[in-house]
Amino acid sequence: MIWRTFSGEPLKLPVKNAVENTIVRETQAGYHLKVCIGTDSQVRGQETEFATVIVFLREKHGGFMFICNDKTRQKYSIKERMLVEVAKSIEIAYELCDLFNKYDVDMEVHADINTNPQFKSNEALREAMGYILGMGFAFKAKPEAFASSSCANKIVN
């Protein structure tokens, strides 16, 4: 997986090392960090593009993110696609969670799933919430899931 900054610059280190360096740099600069991880997807013809983001929030001082894009030609139902998004977010959250524990950084996994039953994505809400909470992660869904529904969404749209 190739990770980059919002400006397009590729990370020079593996994502885990880049995240650790970022946590150290930002906390040494006096910022209190929170990290939100989310994935969104967009179907275009035969391809589905996924964007996973690691959003670093500096309390009262803005934020920035690392981004990873991924494409597949596999066909998904809306529910399957929502659960693949969640799985991609959990995969990176699990890879990084020991760093967040080590440096006492709060982390949330954001799912681009609507809490309103009138929306099709709501079909996946219960399973996604169980998956994320079952892994021991904090969970947010729309409208609070900005990492997936705003940040990652900007990358795939």
For 14-63, how does the pLDDT look when each residue is reduced to its tens digit (9 = 90+)?
999 999 999 999 999 999 999 999 999 999 999 999 999 999 999 999 99
What's the predicted TM-score (pTM) here? 0.94
- pLDDT tens digit sequence for 96-120: 999 999 999 999 999 999 888 888 8
Contacts of 35 (CB under 8 A, 6+ apart): 19, 54, 55, 56, 57, 96, 100, 105, 106, 107, 108
Find the range with the poorest average confidence among 2-11, 62-71, 120-129: 120-129
Q: In whole angstroms, give the CA distance from residue 15 to residue 78.
A: 29
Over 80: is that where the pLDDT of 157 sits?
A: no
Pick the CATH number of 3-156 from 2.60.40, 2.30.30, 3.30.420, 1.10.10: 3.30.420
Tell me if residue 61 falls in helix, strand or coil.
coil
Domain range summary for the chain, segments of one domain joined by +: 3-156
- Could you tell me the pLDDT band of residue 86, with boundaries at 50, 70 and 90? very high
